[in-house]
Amino acid sequence: FFEDFSRNLVNDFKPNLIKTDIHETDNEYIVEAELPGIPKEDIQVNYENGVLTISGQRQIDAATEDKKGKLIRNERSLTSVRRQYLLENVKEDEIKASYSDGILKVTLPKDSNKEIKTSIPIE
């Protein structure tokens, strides 16, 4: 009994992570995030202080009625997901996002005018 209970408990509390691929080219970052089943209007994309934030939520209402129309079961669930990514030196006013077939694609053009330090002198 306890073995099955603990197995179910652990499986039910897996974190809701957004599976993401991040590609970097010479000119831009391309972020592809899986958000299956989440309507486009329930997805938020923000970029502030070098951090890209992707969040979304999906609400499910399921009701089952018997032949007489009495409610015999009603289930609701709300799933929220959120992830943040540090992507600095981006042209904030040129970021673009699209959503198709459960995949959110965010393109962040790099800002070549911003100085990138690769080494830090030691005093």
- pLDDT at 10 exceeding the cut of 50: no
- In tens, the pLDDT along 74-117 reads 667 778 899 999 999 999 999 999 999 999 999 999 998 766 55
> Domains in the chain and their CATH numbers?
18-109 (2.60.40.790)
Say which amino acid occupies 5.
F
Please report the pLDDT score of residue 5 as a whole number: 46
Distance CA 102, CA 34 (A): 6
- pLDDT at 8 exceeding the cut of 50: no
DSSP code, position 114: S
- pLDDT at 6 exceeding the cut of 70: no
In this structure, which long-range contacts are made by residues 48-51, counting pairs with CB atoms below 8 Å and at least 24 apart in sequence? 50/86, 50/87, 50/88, 50/89, 50/90, 51/84, 51/85, 51/86, 51/87
- In tens, the pLDDT along 47-64 reads 999 999 999 988 776 666
- pLDDT at 11 exceeding the cut of 80: no
